[in-house]
Amino acid sequence: MKKEKEKYRLTLADKNAITGYFFILPFIIGFISFMFFPMVQSIMMAFSEVKIDLDNHRFSMTFNYLANFKRAFLEDRDFNRIFIEEMGRMFVIVIPVIIFSFFVALILNQKFRGRGIARALFFLPIILSSGIMVGLETSNSLLSGMSTLIQESNDLRSSVTGVLQNILMTDEESAVNDFMTYIFLMVDQVYTIAMSSGIQIVIFLSGLQTISPSMFEAAYIEGATKWESFWKITFPMVSSLILVNVVYSVVDYCVRTDNAVMVKIRDSLMQSMEYGFSMSMAWIYFVAVMALLGIASLIISKRVYYYDE
Amino acid sequence: MTNDQATKMGFWERNRLSGGYLLRSRIGNVLFKICRAILLFGLCFLILQPLLNKLSISLMEERDLYDSTVISIPRHLTLNNYSVVNELMSYWQSTLRTFLMCTVISLFQVASCTLAGYGFARFKFPFKSFWFFCVMLVIVVPPQTILAPLYLNFRFFDILGIFRLTTGAPLNLIEHGLAGILILSITGMGLKSGLYIFMLRQYFRGVPPELDEAALVDGCGRLRTFVSIMLPDAMPMITSCFLFSFVWMWTDSLYTSLFLRGYNVLSSVLGSLAERLMEYYMRIYTTAAPIGYTQMIIATGMLISLLPLILLYLFAQRAFVESLSQTGIKM
C-alpha cells in the first residue's frame, strides 16, 4: 500500500510543471479563445460572405471561394494603390527609424549636461505618437494646408533641401537618382521618424548600457581610435537588438491609426459592415508584411553577432 | 618629469611638449560638443514643436489664424477655445471616466501579464516553447486581423452555449460597457499584452534562481515565493508596465471604438470632436463651422486630453524608462 502511494507521488519537476501551467493559465485561455479561434474564424471569413442574423442572435458564413480577394485586387478602386503605397512607406519609415534611434541612443548614452532633460524629451513620443493622436495629427488639415502653402510659395529653389535636391538629382533615370529620391523622402519624413522611434531608442539604450566599459578601456590601451572601437565593439554588441527593433517597428507601423490600409479595413468593418471583405484585406496585408519581415530577419540574423555564444 | 611638475606647467607648455596634439584634441572635443548640442537642440525642438504650436493656437482667437502677421504669439489672447472644448467634450467627466477605465484595465492587464511572465521565466513545463511562440504571435499579429471575429464574438458572447441555454440568447458584451475589454485584459489579450509578457519574462529571467531555491529549501511554497519574494522585487518593472499600459490605453482608439461605444472616454470624444463642433455651430449660428476654427478646436482638444499624460510623464519619467532599460532586452 505504502509503496504504491510512493509510486504515484509527483516529482519536483511535475510540481513545477503544474505550477508553471497554473501561472500561464490565464494566457492560455485568452490565447485560445481570443486569438486562436478568432484567427481561424477570420481566415474563414476572408473566404466567405458573412451575414448577421439578429433574430437568432448569431452570424453565418457562406463560403464563396476567392470572391473577397478578387474584389480587393480587381474591383476595389483604391485597395491596390494604398496597399502598394503603404508597403513603400513602411520602408521609408522603418529603415530610417532604426538608423535614427541607434544614432540618438549613442548620443544619449554619452555624459553631458542636461542629459536627463534630453532623455525625457526623446521618450516623450512614446506618449505623443500613440493611438488616436497620430491619426488626428495627420488629418490636421490646417497644418497640412500650411505646409502645402509653404511648398507652393517657395518652390524647390529657395529651401535648403530643395537646392540640394536640384544639385544632386540629374534628369535622366539612374540608380543614383532613385537612391537620392529615397533619401529626400526620408528627410521629408523626419518628424514622423522622430515621433515613431521612442521605444526603439529605449531598446538600443538598454543594449548600450550592458556593454562593459572595460572593453573600451582595453581597446583604448591597445591604441584603437574611437571610430574603430565603435565599429569593432559598440556596433557588434548591439547588433542583435537591430532585429528586435526591426520587428517592433514593422509591427508598430502596421497598427498605426494613420496607416491607410488599416483605416480602410476598419471603415469597411465598422461602417459598411463588410466583414468578409475587410478580413480578406487584413490577411493580404498581414501575409505580405510577415513575408517581408521573415526575409528581413533572415538576412539580419545571419549578420548579427551574439556575445553569449 | 613627475606628475606634480606636469600639473604645474601651463597649457601651452604641455601643448608644445606633446607636439600640438593637446591643442588639436581640445579643439576637436569642443567642436564635437558644440555640434552635439546644436543637433540635440534641433531634435528636441522637432519633438516639442507640435505641442508648442498647439498651445499657441489654442490661445488664439479665430481672426488671429487669418492674420498673416501672427505666427506663434497670439495677438488676441483668449481662453475661449478651452471653455468651448470643455463644454463639447464634457472634459472633466470624460477625463474621470477615462482615468477610472484605464486604471482598472491596466491593473488587470498587468496582473495577468505578470503571472504569465513569471510562469515563462521560472518553470519548465511541456510545450513551453510552443506557448512562448504563441506570445510572439500575439505581439506580431495586428489586432485588426482578428477584429471582425472578435467583434462578432463579443456581440454574441457565449461560453460553450451556456447563456443560450439558460437565457435564450447570448450576451451582447459590446453594449455592456467595460465587460468585453475587461475579459480581454484579464486573459492577457489586451492592447499590447504580448509585449508586457515579454518584458516581464525578460525581467524575471534576470533574477538569480538561487533566490527561489533558497526559499524552496526553507519550506516556502511556490505561490508564496512568488507573492512575497518575487513581486516586491519586481515592483519597478511592474510599475513601468502599468504606466505603459495606462498611457497606451488612454490614447487607444481601436479597442475603445470597438468595445466602448457610447461610453464616452477621451479618445472617442476627441475623435468625434469635429462632428460635435459642427452640431454646436449648426444649432447656434445655423452655418457650418469654418475649417480653421475646427482645427483650432481639435488642437485644443488634443492638448487638454494629453495634459494628464504629460503631467504623469513629468512625475514618473524615471519609472517609465529606467526600469525598462534595465531588463536588457535580447532575443
The residues, any chain, with a CB within 8 Å of residue B132's CB and separated by 6 or more, are B120
The residue with greater pLDDT, B268 or B326, is B268
Cβ distance of A121 and B188 shorter than 8 Å? no
Give the DSSP per-residue string, B264-317. Answer: --HHHHHHTHHHHHHHHHHHHHSSPPPHHHHHHHHHHHHHHHHHHHHHHHHHHH
pLDDT, position B330: 46
Cβ–Cβ of A24/B116 closer than 8 Å?
Answer: yes
| Residues 137 through 156 of chain B touching chain A, CB cutoff 8 Å | 137-153, 156
Contact state of A118 with B44 under an 8 Å Cβ cutoff: yes
Which of A25, A34, A55 should be substituted to probe chain B, the one whose Cβ sees the most B Cβ atoms within 10 Å? Answer: A34
Q: B151 Cβ partners below 8 Å, 6+ apart?
A: A269, B174, B258
Helices (H), B9-20: 11-17
B48-94 pLDDT, tens digit per residue, is 888 888 888 888 888 877 777 777 788 888 888 899 889 888 899 99
| pLDDT higher than 90, residue B108 | yes
Smallest Cβ distance to A123: which of B118, B189, B321? Answer: B321
Interface of B with A in 112-131 (CB under 8 A): 112, 115-116, 118-120, 122-126, 128, 131
- CA–CA gap between residue B145 and residue A43 (Å, rounded): 9
Annotated domain spans of chain B: 80-326
- How many CB atoms sit inside 10 A of residue A275's CB? 27
Using alpha carbons, select from A133, A68, A83 the residue that is nearest to residue A269: A68
What stretch(es) of chain A map to CATH 1.10.3720.10? 73-134+194-303
CATH of B80-326, one of 1.10.3720.10, 3.90.226.10, 1.10.10.10, 1.10.730.10: 1.10.3720.10
Which tens digits make up the pLDDT trace of A176-228? 777 777 777 777 778 888 888 888 888 888 888 888 889 999 999 999 988 89
Q: How much is the average pLDDT of A120-133?
A: 80
Nearest to A20 among B123, B143, B183 (CB): B123
What is the pLDDT at residue B326? 61
A29 or A272, higher pLDDT: A29
Q: Tell me the mean pLDDT in the region B217-239.
A: 88
Residue range A263-277: average pLDDT?
A: 82
> A237 to chain B: nearest residue by CA?
B330
% of chain A at pLDDT higher than 90:
12
Note whether A45 contacts B145, CB cutoff 8 Å. no
Q: Is the ipTM of this complex over 0.85?
A: no
A73-134+194-303 has CATH 4.10.640.10 classification: no
